[in-house]
């Protein structure tokens, strides 16, 4: 998965009577989530401290601890926000019935590459980044990250079943296994693209995957 525009939840209306220039609760949380996603998709969890997030968000420390119990709780909130954004990205591509199913998957890979390119390939996938740091994270992250990957995989499985029903995918293929293979390979390609600061790993993986499955 890749990072494109920052995923944000809808803003609540400002509360009446709050002091001028003071962000309301929803605005402060939104700023923290945005700053957290930007920093963690580029630097990772262990390399970013709360103070760095506060400075980037322009939010006082009291607001941070009003919304989150600590850095771990904040990290899990970022996983939820990133997943909500990414599921919307997947659905935009996967549910486009004007295209054949495998063309929708190909479109996703192209849009994801464009998203990484906008940030010079310095930002990767939050879920992939955190997975690389799992040894240093609380155990709660393991279930959260696995659940996110399984959700993306389930959407891909449904798309591949549709491709099979339309004759784009041979009957000998297992859509569940292919969906799992896609995400294992795609996350690796995103990591390599971030490491090398270039799109070739993404393109090479996508080309190989489609060449192996298309009839």
Q: Which fold has domain 75-213?
A: Tetracycline Repressor; domain 2 (1.10.357)
Name, in order, each residue with C-beta under 8 angstroms of 67's C-beta and a sequence gap of 6 or more.
Answer: 25, 28, 29, 32, 77
Name, in order, each residue with C-beta under 8 angstroms of 92's C-beta and a sequence gap of 6 or more.
Answer: none
Give the whole-angstrom CA distance, residue 101 versus residue 80.
Answer: 27
pLDDT tens per residue across all 215 residues of the chain: 554 444 444 333 333 444 444 444 589 999 999 999 999 999 999 999 999 999 999 999 999 999 999 999 999 999 999 999 999 999 999 999 999 999 999 999 999 999 999 999 999 999 999 999 999 999 999 999 999 999 999 999 999 999 999 999 999 999 999 999 999 999 999 999 999 999 999 999 999 999 999 86
Give the whole-angstrom CA distance, residue 37 versus residue 52.
Answer: 12
Give the pLDDT confidence score for residue 2 in this predicted structure.
52
Contact between 106 and 172 (Cβ < 8 Å): no
Give the whole-angstrom CA distance, residue 215 versus residue 156.
Answer: 18
- Provide the residue ranges of all domains of the chain, joining segments of one domain with +: 75-213
SS3 of residue 190 by DSSP: helix
């Amino acid at each position: 998965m890749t990072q494109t525009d920052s995923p944000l939840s809808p803003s609540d209306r400002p509360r009446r009577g709050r002091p001028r220039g003071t962000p309301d609760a929803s605005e402060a949380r939104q700023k923290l989530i945005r700053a957290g996603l930007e920093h963690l998709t580029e630097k990772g969890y262990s390399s970013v401290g709360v103070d760095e997030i506060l400075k980037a968000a322009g939010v006082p420390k009291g607001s941070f601890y009003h919304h989150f119990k600590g850095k771990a709780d904040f990290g899990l909130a970022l996983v939820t926000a990133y997943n909500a954004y990414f599921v919307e990205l997947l659905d935009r591509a996967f549910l486009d019935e004007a295209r054949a199913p495998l063309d929708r998957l190909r479109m996703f890979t192209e849009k994801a590459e464009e998203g990484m390119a906008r940030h010079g390939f310095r930002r990767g996938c939050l879920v992939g980044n955190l997975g690389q740091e799992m040894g240093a994270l609380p155990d709660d992250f393991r279930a959260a990250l696995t659940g996110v990957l399984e959700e993306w995989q389930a959407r891909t499985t449904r798309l591949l079943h549709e491709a099979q029903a339309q004759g784009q995918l041979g009957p000998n293929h297992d859509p569940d296994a292919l969906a799992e293979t896609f995400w294992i390979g795609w996350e690796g390609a995103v990591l390599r693209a971030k490491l090398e600061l270039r799109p070739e790993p993404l393109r090479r993986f996508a080309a190989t995957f489609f060449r192996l499955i298309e009839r």
